[in-house]
Amino acid sequence: MPQIRTVAGTRDLFAADYATGSRVLVEAAQQARLRGYSGIVTPIFEYTEVFSRAVGEGTDVVDKEMYTFEDRGGRSLTLRPEATASVLRAYFEGGMNQGPQPVRLYYRGPMFRAERPQAGRYRQFFQHGVEAIGESAPGLDAEVIELAWSGLQSLGLEGVRLQVNSIGDAACRPAYRSLLQDHYRPHLGEMCEDCRRRFDINPLRLLDCKKPTCAPLQAGAPNPVDHLCEDCASHHRSLKEALVALDIPFTENPRLVRGLDYYTRTAFEFWHDDLKGSQNALGGGGRYDGLAQVLGFEATPGVGFSMGVDRIVLALQRSGLSAAPPGAAVAILPAAEGAAVQAMRLASDLRLSGHVTVVDHGSRSLKSRMRQAQKMGAAVVVILGETELSAGAAAVRDMAGGGQEEVQLGAVAQSVSAILERGAA
């Protein structure tokens, strides 16, 4: 029978991948909490409408990439391709719109998009992100960008380039859309099928097509940032001033339009030099002042970002910044009748002293268990043999130094600590 494997585009995370990803999440949560953000968990699946309305028909995500299925009651459900729409739904459903504003939330978890898998692009991938809802001031845009930037900096990642743009709002976007359509109209026959569809539904996406038929047509297309109304222009100016004041380097990228439809005004991405092509975005976000209404709620501004944890891990690994999985510092080998219980008690003592301790419950020979402890990287091995136990003691072996001594059970923790301290010095 063929062996069972993971589904294409999904993967197991373990060892250094898991350890590095955990580090990313710990730093991200710490940065969010330091700025008054509190955690939120939303369901992994929602009614399909949440995403089709929010992310928008005509986007790749909605048209081609959603994992949509009918449940047993015939309702259309979708595995979340992103979390902003869910968090905004939860903000209203949980009555958070009634309290002090803005509401600052952070989240993490798996997202699902049926994209063509390759390095840095998966069908199940992990994001962490924040949403700050209920305030339209540009200071909040600067706050979330600074939060994301600090998270990446705290990991020691170099080569991150922040791209910033403004894509206008309901006041100035319609006139800009017409200008863009005027630019592309004469070329409709040359454009790819997707772009011909986007021409009517969402012409902004035309600026982002990478196909050889369409990319050259972008030359000479008008940029959204050159056609902002005064309110959007002033919002954008204030954001840029704040980023300069915060010493956050950024590039103004007039072509940055993002792949999801809900953005108004600010759009940004963090690119990394070592990740090539369309997978170079470590994360991105922006403002979505029109999204609440699209979901059927009262008009409410918001801004946020999501970072791709898989890609950050990849970038850290390529920069030699992987985290090592936690190895055991101490291995206890019970090797006598009744030693197993004693071993577990001793392990509890050692853990109280903060030492990562494992008990080898196996019944193989002492020699092979010693070899195993060495392979695991244990710095100290504690052997509970018959001779030692009958004397109320254990043999404590310093794996690096090679010495071994018999120590009374009550003094093992102290002896182990001494060896580990010597090793760390």
Reading the block at residue 406, the tokens are 């018999």
Write down the least CB distance from residue 370 to ligand HAM, Å.
42
Q: What is the DSSP letter of 121?
A: B
Nearest to ligand HAM of 131, 388 (CB atom): 131
Write down the least CB distance from residue 180 to ligand HAM, Å.
21
Write down the least CB distance from residue 140 to ligand HAM, Å.
12
Question: Quick one: three-class SS letters along 335-353?
Answer: ECCCHHHHHHHHHHHHHHC
Write down the least CB distance from residue 270 to ligand HAM, Å.
7
Nearest to ligand HAM of 274, 349 (CB atom): 274
Nearest to 286 by CA among 172, 140, 176: 140
The single-letter code of the amino acid at 367 is: K
Please say whether the beta carbons of 123 and 112 come within 8 A. Answer: yes
Write down the least CB distance from residue 335 to ligand HAM, Å.
48
Helix spans in 215-262 (H): 230-245
Write down the least CB distance from residue 414 to ligand HAM, Å.
48
Write down the least CB distance from residue 66 to ligand HAM, Å.
12
Nearest to ligand HAM of 121, 177 (CB atom): 121
Provide the strand spans (E) within 250-386. Answer: 250-252, 264-272, 281-287, 302-308, 330-335, 357-359, 380-385
Nearest to ligand HAM of 260, 383 (CB atom): 260
Nearest to ligand HAM of 203, 283 (CB atom): 283
Write down the least CB distance from residue 323 to ligand HAM, Å.
19
**Three-state DSSP class for 376?**
coil
Question: Which are the contacts of 93, defined by CB distance < 8 A and separation ≥ 6?
Answer: none
Nearest to ligand HAM of 17, 310 (CB atom): 310
Write down the least CB distance from residue 71 to ligand HAM, Å.
24
Q: Would you list the DSSP string of 176-192? A: HHHHHHHHHGGGGGGS-
Q: How far is C-alpha 398 from the chain's CA centre?
A: 40
Reading the block at residue 275, the tokens are 């990740």
Please say whether the beta carbons of 184 and 252 come within 8 A. Answer: no
Cβ-in-10-Å burial (0-12, 13-18, 19+) of 105 comes to buried
Reading the block at residue 268, the tokens are 């940004």
Cβ-in-10-Å burial (0-12, 13-18, 19+) of 100 comes to exposed
Block residue for tokens 């903000």? 91
The dihedral of CA 53, 55, 57, 61: what is its sign? negative
Write down the least CB distance from residue 171 to ligand HAM, Å.
21
Please say whether the beta carbons of 296 and 174 come within 8 A. Answer: no
Nearest to 174 by CA among 197, 203, 195, 194: 203
Q: State the residue number with the nearest CB to ligand HAM.
A: 308
Contact residues toward ligand HAM (CB under 6 A) are 82-84, 113, 115, 121-122, 125, 127, 129, 131, 259-260, 281-286, 288, 304-306, 308, 310-311
Distance CA 73, CA 232 (A): 45
